[in-house]
Structure 1
């Protein structure tokens, strides 16, 4: 009985300590003179339900509207039990992303280059390691290198067209799934040099692991939080943010691709070939380096997985939402089709890179799609020093996590009147000049903007051009007038799929 009583006392004591710690955390911003959000949940803070019943975009949009209504440039909230700052004023966004980049150059994502090497993609790296990797990879994403991969993307788009010709009549054809299979084939080809053929066969291991890499439930989001906040502890317990089977699959895939090319001397117009060019004197490094030339096998696998994640779901989602809006706006769809045909006719019927990138209406339609449905709904940074926001009395300590609510800004009627309406003319030159440049951030901004934006836009535009030249899209009885998003996915994605009438032209 005495032992049982002791155990109960210890348990109650620990519970009281944890509760006291959480309560103290909740008062963090009040103690530091920062305006705060409504009363948070003791454990989940102001993001209760994230990844389960609520998507990040809706939680941050609610906070954004509350802080903005109160006339605040920033506001404090609890990301689980971590004190965080939500940016409201676009001038503050500019400071964080560009002017004071030296303070906010890291994203605060858990990386373990030794225990979990595929976690060390460019998106997650910090400090000198990020800077060096960015310098190494930047030359692989120039317009010249995009032209290098253009023909490969174009050929896979023709496979998409052939599949659609055969299957467009099917009532069970789910558009987003088909577009995912297209972008998965593209990325598999240009990142790993393999013929995935998921357009025809969606049940491959590559497809399964690719989809799994994008699932962010509450547990995975919580692990990201714990890893970012308590890194030493996370490494000690061997915590892995990337699911183990996903990590193993992409590591082995990268190894087999590299060794095959080494043995056979294979040359391809793809991302893997560009990575292999970064090697140091024909040999791979054995440990992650902070400078100089070369890459480890883990770094190659990590960049390939990042390239896959950055180009697969984001581009397919953008095409998916774009086709939905064009189906809902048939006159706009026809105008865009005319522009596409006239532009290609000027090149004697050939689809070339510069023409694809230069189509004016297509550019505005894609931009408006990214405005209304930004694939990444928020940007995040962590401060590496104490910082006082200019023209305010608000000071945050080093290690503070900040989020810029991209979706909320894109749907703010102050910047985009009637934000739920689809209006590509918002991106006419005079309209763009009239608003603050930091209220439209689909690819981020500053030194850590999306390095693969050229590839993503190229892939998206090729897919749209191919489909719109051959098919007319319109709503059917299963098309929802208002879309809901899946809370378990990191990228905005329809909760119930996308179903449209697809009529061959």
Structure 2
């Protein structure tokens, strides 16, 4: 009996300590005099349901309007039991992303380049490791290098055209699946030098592992959170955020590709070739200032892996949302098709990279798609020291998680009137000049702006040009009037399948 009473007393004491610790964390913003969201849950804070019943965009949008209605520039909230700041004012977003980048240079994501090598992609790296890798990789994503990879993307686009011509009559055809196969084939080819053939073999090992790399269940979500919040502890226990079978698969592919290319002196116009050049020479031969030592095979694998996982889903969803809007707005679809056909005729039927970039209405359609459906709904950073927020009396501690709600800004009528309407003319030069800077952030901004944005835009534009030049997309009775997003995916993605009536066009 005495032992039971002792155990009970210990349990009650521990519970009270945990309760006190969590409540003290939740009182941080009031102690610092910073306005904060009301009624945080003891464990889930202000993000209850995140990744299960609600996507992060809707939670952050609710907080955004709660703070904006109080005319606040920033607001505090609890990201589970992590005190965090939500940026409301675009000028403060500029300070976080550009002006005071030296304070906000890291994202606060778990990285263990030794124990979990594929976690060491450019997106996650911090401090000097990030700077060195960014310096080495930046020359691989210049406009000139995109031209280098353009032909490969065009070849895969022709395979998609052929597949759709043979299958467009199918009532069960979902364009999101087709577009995922297209982007998987392109990026697998460009990043790993592998002919994935996902268009015709959707269940190949590469396709299966690629999809698994993007799946997020409750366990993996906890790993991401714990790894980001308690980095030293996570490394001590050997935490791995990349599933072991996925890590082994992609690492083996990278190792085999490097071995083959170096032993047989294989040359290709792809990302892997550029990485090999950095590995062996320390820099690209045409870029004298990219500098530094070379990279290891493990580092190459990590960069290819993040290139693949970040690119295949975001590019395919952007094209999918764009086709949905063009099906729902047929006059815009016909206008864009007219521009495409005029451009192709100008190039004698073979669209060049330069002409693709000159297509003004296509660029505005893609920009408006990214405005209405940003693939990543928020940009986040971590302070590396105490920081006083400009034009406020608020000072936030070091290691504070700061989020900029991209989706909420993109759907704020102050910046984008009638935000639910799809209107490419929002991106006419005069309209852009009228908007405050840093209200449109589909790729982030500043030194950590998405390094692959040129490639992602090229990929999406080639896919759209190929499809719209050869097919007309119309809604069906099953096409939803408004899309609902899947709560369990990082990127914005429709919760249910979106079907189209697809009509082949004569040249």
- With normalisation by structure 1, the TM-score equals 0.97
State how 1:236-385 maps to structure 2 within 5 Å: 236-280=236-280, 292-385=292-385
- Of residues 163-172 and 17-26 in structure 1, the stretch that sits farther from structure 2 once superposed is 17-26
- Of residues 420-429 and 235-244 in structure 1, the stretch that sits farther from structure 2 once superposed is 235-244
Cα distance in 2 for residues equivalent to 1:227 and 1:21: 20
Cα separation, partners in 2 of 1:218 and 1:76, compared to 1, 3 Å: farther
Number of equivalenced pairs = 498
Contact 1:310 1:452 in 2 (8 A): no
Contact 2:275 2:300 in 1 (8 A): yes
Q: Report the equivalent of 1:59.
A: 59
Q: Report the equivalent of 1:221.
A: 221
- Of residues 77-86 and 206-215 in structure 1, the stretch that sits farther from structure 2 once superposed is 206-215
Deviations 1:322-364 (A, max 9, x none): 0000000001100100000001111111111011111000000
1:282 CA displacement: 9.1
Deviations 1:183-211 (A, max 9, x none): 00000000000000000110011111111
Q: Report the equivalent of 1:178.
A: 178
Q: Report the equivalent of 2:160.
A: 160
Contact 1:213 1:309 in 2 (8 A): yes
Contact 2:443 2:450 in 1 (8 A): yes
Cα distance in 2 for residues equivalent to 1:37 and 1:250: 42
Where 1:277 maps in the other structure, the secondary structure is: helix
Contact 1:97 1:104 in 2 (8 A): yes
1:270 CA displacement: 0.5
Contact 1:90 1:439 in 2 (8 A): yes
Cα distance in 1 for residues equivalent to 2:145 and 2:474: 36
Contact 1:386 1:397 in 2 (8 A): yes
Contact 2:282 2:293 in 1 (8 A): no
Where 2:279 maps in the other structure, the secondary structure is: coil
1:497 CA displacement: 1.7
Q: Report the equivalent of 1:287.
A: none
Q: Report the equivalent of 2:106.
A: 106
Cα distance in 1 for residues equivalent to 2:103 and 2:229: 17
Q: Report the equivalent of 1:119.
A: 119
Cα separation, partners in 2 of 1:35 and 1:197, compared to 1, 3 Å: same
Where 1:279 maps in the other structure, the secondary structure is: helix
Cα distance in 2 for residues equivalent to 1:353 and 1:281: 29
Cα distance in 2 for residues equivalent to 1:295 and 1:315: 27
- Of residues 6-15 and 97-106 in structure 1, the stretch that sits farther from structure 2 once superposed is 6-15
Q: Report the equivalent of 1:473.
A: 473
Contact 2:282 2:292 in 1 (8 A): no
Contact 1:160 1:199 in 2 (8 A): yes
1:390 CA displacement: 1.3
Tell me, which stretches of 5 or more residues in structure 1 are unaligned?
284-290
1:2 CA displacement: 2.6
Deviations 1:49-81 (A, max 9, x none): 111100010110100010000000000000110
Q: Report the equivalent of 2:204.
A: 204
Contact 2:474 2:501 in 1 (8 A): yes
Deviations 1:346-392 (A, max 9, x none): 11111110111110000000000000000010000001111111111
Cα distance in 2 for residues equivalent to 1:21 and 1:242: 31
Contact 2:282 2:295 in 1 (8 A): no
Q: Report the equivalent of 2:388.
A: 388
Contact 1:50 1:218 in 2 (8 A): no
Cα distance in 2 for residues equivalent to 1:246 and 1:84: 32
Cα distance in 1 for residues equivalent to 2:469 and 2:45: 49
1:298 CA displacement: 1.5
Deviations 1:256-282 (A, max 9, x none): 111111222111111000000001459
Q: Report the equivalent of 2:439.
A: 439
- Of residues 311-320 and 229-238 in structure 1, the stretch that sits farther from structure 2 once superposed is 229-238
Cα distance in 2 for residues equivalent to 1:73 and 1:460: 35
Cα distance in 2 for residues equivalent to 1:247 and 1:42: 35
